[in-house]
Amino acid sequence: MATALIILAAGQGTRMNSDRPKVLHPLGGVPMLWHAMAAGDTLFPELTVVVTGHGGPEVEAAAKAHNPEAVCVTQSERLGTGHAVQQAVPALEGFSGRAIVLYGDTPFIAPETLERLAEARADVTVLGFTPADPGRYGRLVTAGDSLERIVEWKDASAEERAITLCNSGVMACDVDLLRELLAGLTNDNAAGEYYLTDIVGLARARGLAAGVVTCDESETLGINSRPELAAAEVAFQARRRAEAMETGVTLHAPETTFFSFDTVIGRDAVIGPNVVFGPGVTVESEAEIRAFCHLEGCHVSRGATVGPFARLRPGAELAEEVHVGNFVEIKNATLDEGVKVGHLTYLGDAHVGEHTNIGAGTVTCNYDGVSKHRTVIGARAFIGSDTMLVAPVTVGADAMTGSGSVITSDVPDGALAIGRARQETKPGLAVKLFEKLKAAKARKLARR
């Protein structure tokens, strides 16, 4: 059966005490909204509708950054979850199939759980869970395998509050039926809101079937405050570390490795202590990322080594057997096979040919204050320590630059380029200069 997603992302999140819309707070380096969207993506939905509200333009931009085909609608007044889903229904015009309602601040629902929800046969199916502390969750009132109704905590009787099966808010329903049930909602309750949960009672009143699919409490973790966001980050990192090690990645100090939402690391890769992966990183098999490195938007090929204390920024592309050493920064640059960049170097907007050696302190001077410019270094070149390569500039294959050079013109293949002031040596002048400076310092101290 065809599937559509309705993702509710209109909340302001006042408990976050933030100007940023709640669903845009980062989790694993990306907006938490992306996690909910990605979970739904595993169902290969024909349509994804995101309901925005507070910070609507920003939320819409984030949703489309993850899925350009997502349709965004606005809930201008926050009148409850049922009202939010009502805003999404017009966007489903012409769609025939099952709609699944998800929440932008509930990021951890497993694909397997959503698949069971999508395949459930009841007319309306709710995702339930049994928490360690039911607290103020809505309760699922059942009779055998049938779900009779959902009761919000504030409206529940003492007997109903004793029920431990709780409502996650996630549910599935045929779109045509959902449209009909939503039309019957009222706001006759303690909060004066239109509850999506009331469609269960409306369906049962029509003699339709309602059921429950259950999942672990950890999948239903909602994020409403900074402490809950921090707890979610801890849970996310713990899961990603476990997954990495289970797939054959060595983590020398797992508790100090931080992954992003989309980090990909191949089998037999080795990750040292205190490594942070930002979004968009792929590390191939048998590569090594040493201690205290920060990587984002980059690709590290098989057998390459990075660090310690290195930074790979977006657009960094390291081929096989490349070595990037300590205090090296690479940005928007391709390093071909076997390149060595040992230490204290910045390579930005550059292409370095295979088996070239970059000496310590080398800088590609890529920015003139207005525009960025590119440096091209050929294969098997040798760039001497403390070389400044003023882009745009090309250094040919098998060429060499002298240490301390400022290279402003292209260097042909096989040539040696030296661009520095001629050294002058003044015999005995250092001793005389030191004596003069020491005498001046002594006179200064004597006057105090």
Assess whether 195 and 231 both reside in one domain.
no
The per-residue pLDDT for 284 is: 98
Assess whether 212 and 257 both reside in one domain.
no
Assess whether 100 and 124 both reside in one domain.
yes
Q: Are 279 and 52 in contact (CB under 8 A)?
A: no
Cα 90 to Cα 81: distance, rounded to the nearest angstrom? 16
Q: Are 224 and 242 in contact (CB under 8 A)?
A: no
The per-residue pLDDT for 13 is: 80
Assess whether 188 and 251 both reside in one domain.
no
Q: Tokens for 348?
A: 């930005």
Assess whether 140 and 26 both reside in one domain.
yes
148 SS3 class:
strand
Q: With a cut of 50, list the residues of the chain below it in pLDDT.
A: none
Q: Measuring CA to CA, how many Å separate 332 from each of 263, 325, 365?
A: 19, 17, 13
Could you give phi then psi for residue 256, rounded to 5 degrees?
-105, 5
Q: Tokens for 33?
A: 């909204």
Assess whether 209 and 231 both reside in one domain.
no
CATH number at residue 388: 2.160.10.10
Rounded to 5°, the CA angle 31-32-37 comes to 100
Domain presence at residue 352: yes
Cα 269 to Cα 264: distance, rounded to the nearest angstrom? 11
Domain presence at residue 438: no
The per-residue pLDDT for 356 is: 98
Side-chain half-sphere of 82: how many Cα atoms within 13 Å? 23
Whether the bond between 392 and the residue before it is cis, its omega within 30 degrees of 0, is yes
Cα 2 to Cα 334: distance, rounded to the nearest angstrom? 43
Pairing of strands 71-74, 98-103: unpaired
Q: Are 220 and 36 in contact (CB under 8 A)?
A: no
Domain presence at residue 440: no
Assess whether 242 and 306 both reside in one domain.
yes
Count of domains forming the chain: 2
Catalytic residue among 35, 299, 343, 373: 343
Domain presence at residue 448: no
CATH number at residue 90: 3.90.550.10
Domain presence at residue 447: no
The per-residue pLDDT for 124 is: 97
User: Which residues are bridge partners to 276 per DSSP?
Assistant: 258, 294
- Domain span at residue 57 reads 3-220
Assess whether 408 and 283 both reside in one domain.
yes
Please confirm, yes or no, whether 343 is among the known catalytic residues.
yes
pTM of the model: 0.88
The per-residue pLDDT for 11 is: 86
Assess whether 64 and 104 both reside in one domain.
yes
Assess whether 16 and 139 both reside in one domain.
yes
Domain presence at residue 424: no
Closest by CA to 131, choosing from 143, 120, 122, 140, is 140
- E-assigned strand segments in 46-123: 47-52, 71-74, 98-103
Domain presence at residue 337: yes
Domain presence at residue 426: no
State which of 220, 249, 269 marks the end of a domain. 220
Cα 142 to Cα 424: distance, rounded to the nearest angstrom? 93
Assess whether 91 and 211 both reside in one domain.
yes
Side-chain half-sphere of 369: how many Cα atoms within 13 Å? 0
Q: Identity (one letter) of the amino acid at 31?
A: P
Assess whether 194 and 297 both reside in one domain.
no
State which of 183, 202, 220 marks the end of a domain. 220
Cα 388 to Cα 408: distance, rounded to the nearest angstrom? 8
